[in-house]
Amino acid sequence: MRLFLWNSVLTLLVTSLSGALIPEPEVKIEVLQKPFICHRKTKGGDLMLVHYEGYLEKDGSLFHSTHKHNNGQPVWFTLGILESLKGWDQGLKGMCVGEKRKLIIPPALGYGKEGKGKIPPESTLIFNIDLLEIRNGPRSHESFQEMDLNDDWKLSKDEVKVYLKKEFEKHGAVVNESHHDVLVEDIFDKEDEDKDGFISAREFTYKHDEL
């Protein structure tokens, strides 16, 4: 009897704890328009040319539009490297040219507790986004992730050196430590724009022969 009661208490405890877990924030995606034929879908590292309108969910007010506030010009951004909002990186994957999506982005994937400009803190955002063009990004998102060993969205000199050694070994080339040191210094001299000793995802744009 005691064992039965104990198991019942444990079951209730686990159930209540499971129910108390806070779900991960997600972007709500609504496809408003989709082309009949889709030759290519967006993936991490792709450059996307988009028109968009951004609204505050709470009152429906427009805070930015490329049609009105950008001389009517669309904007380019790179998908999947935190160049824009986390909500964009999550909500614009697998999109086709000619597709239009509505994204409802929670604060945690938008501007969070700080807000920005006309956007108050803890604001849920609504974006209507038209994809006009997809191009290959200057660097592979997969390559950056492979090099970023500790997943902190920036590359240290040691991480770049490890990657170079693997690439040389993969192609049967002789590993020369001093040569790699020179290569690493050259790469950082060109790519580490803010000179903080790391190459961020956004700085990962210079095309070096060895990377």
Do 200 and 146 share a domain, yes or no? yes
pTM given for the model: 0.59
Residue 29: what are its φ and ψ, rounded to 5°? -115, 130
**H-helix segments, the chain:** 2-20, 66-69, 86-91, 141-147, 157-170, 177-191
Same domain for 153 and 98: no
Q: What are the pLDDT tens digits along the chain (211 aa)?
A: 433 334 444 444 444 444 445 677 899 999 999 999 999 999 887 888 999 999 999 999 999 999 998 788 998 888 887 778 999 999 999 999 999 999 999 999 999 999 999 899 999 999 999 999 988 765 666 677 788 899 888 899 999 888 878 777 765 666 667 767 877 887 788 778 889 999 887 777 544 434 4
Is residue 174 domain-resident?
yes
b (16+ CB within 10 A) / e for 147-180: bbeeeeebbbbebbbebbeeebeeeeeeeeeeeb
Give the structural domain span for 115: 28-136
Do both 131 and 151 map to the same domain?
no
Number of domains making up the chain: 2
C-alpha span between 211 and 165 (Å, rounded): 11
Instruction: Point out the domain boundary residue: 106, 121, 136.
Output: 136
Residue 14: inside a domain = no
146 and 123 together in one domain: no
**Cα 48 vs. chain centroid, distance in angstroms?**
13
Same domain, 102 and 179: no
117 and 149 assigned to the same domain: no
Residue 88 belongs to a domain: yes
The CATH number of the domain holding residue 158 is 1.10.238.10
- Do 130 and 171 have their domain in common? no
Q: Are residues 75 and 125 in the same domain?
A: yes
DSSP state of 17: H
Question: What was the pLDDT predicted at 138?
Answer: 55
Half-sphere exposure (CA, 13 Å, Cβ side) for 116? 11
In this structure, what CATH number is given to the domain that contains residue 45?
3.10.50.40
Residue 164 and residue 72 share a domain = no
